[in-house]
Structure 1
């Protein structure tokens, strides 16, 4: 099981979108070098307001490129980096992976999946109605988050478009992803 990195993005300033880069450098225990969300403790403004001492389980945000095609069918124009992700992937069902899965990105870098991105109203400010495309309900009425996954950096390294992604599932039983 594996996939490919299609795009990498980072931003040193708070902004909803992140510019695409030729490469990003992941730092163990911190996140993306130079990215506003890098750090040992939370960096997202809403999380800082709640408790700035919380551990940062959202160091690296990944989204599957397939999502962009799905929302395009509903009339939305979303490109890599637009939703604030650091790494855009293809070929892996990120949302189906269990908590604790390790993704090997390229030659060195490894991230451990901590949970689902909890999308906020800023998505509708980016494109009105987009939030309903990335948060919905399944047949049983359960909320389904589709705006990507969050992770922490286990092993640092450079990540760039075209890098292979290897998936290492945790020992069972597997725990489904929840919002972080």
Structure 2
């Protein structure tokens, strides 16, 4: 499956605790080698920022899950137009003013996942991706996402 080399930011989402639904914010300030400023997942590690495509969320909606909005899967950036989980680890993405490096595809779902309990499965473990911030800056809904070749 060929991936688009550009996508779009739908939403920036933040939470002050891990394991909870994130709330949309207008502009995210992403700090080099940290992640989204004031987000619970920020820090000096390889999963600073999480991204999930609206197309993945739509798959869950089509399975009958109601009320899915950006941030519900605790993703920092909700995207559109790119098949995120097909991007190889090491891919550089220009997202808004930032440059981020793909560090991990998917993750293990923790057992207390509210979505998994409601639906029987969660999309983040297979289709969510993680990045670290190489160059900081602001990102907002409507910004483009480009693969840097």
Q: TM-score, normalised by structure 2?
A: 0.88
Q: CA RMSD in A?
A: 1.7
Q: Take 2:112 and 2:99, find their aligned partners in 1: how far apart are those partners?
A: 29
Q: Of 137, 149, 173, which aligns to 2:129?
A: 149
**What is the CA distance between 1:15 and its match in structure 2?**
4.2
**What is the CA distance between 1:131 and its match in structure 2?**
5.0
Correspondence list, 1:10-159, <5 A: 10-40=14-44, 56-77=45-66, 78-106=68-96, 108-118=97-107, 119-123=109-113, 125-126=114-115, 128-130=117-119, 132-134=121-123, 145-159=125-139
Q: TM-score, normalised by structure 1?
A: 0.74
Q: Take 1:63 and 1:121, find their aligned partners in 2: how far apart are those partners?
A: 19
Q: Take 2:102 and 2:142, find their aligned partners in 1: how far apart are those partners?
A: 21
Q: Report which of the two structures shows the higher radius of gyration computed on alpha carbons.
A: 1
Paired residue total: 143
Residues 72, 26 of structure 1: CA spacing in aligned structure 2 closer, same or farther, 3 A cutoff?
Answer: same
**Structure 1: gaps (5+ residues):** 41-55, 136-144, 170-180
**Structure 2: gaps (5+ residues):** none
Report runs of 4+ in structure 1 exceeding 6 Å deviation: none
Q: Take 2:75 and 2:117, find their aligned partners in 1: how far apart are those partners?
A: 19
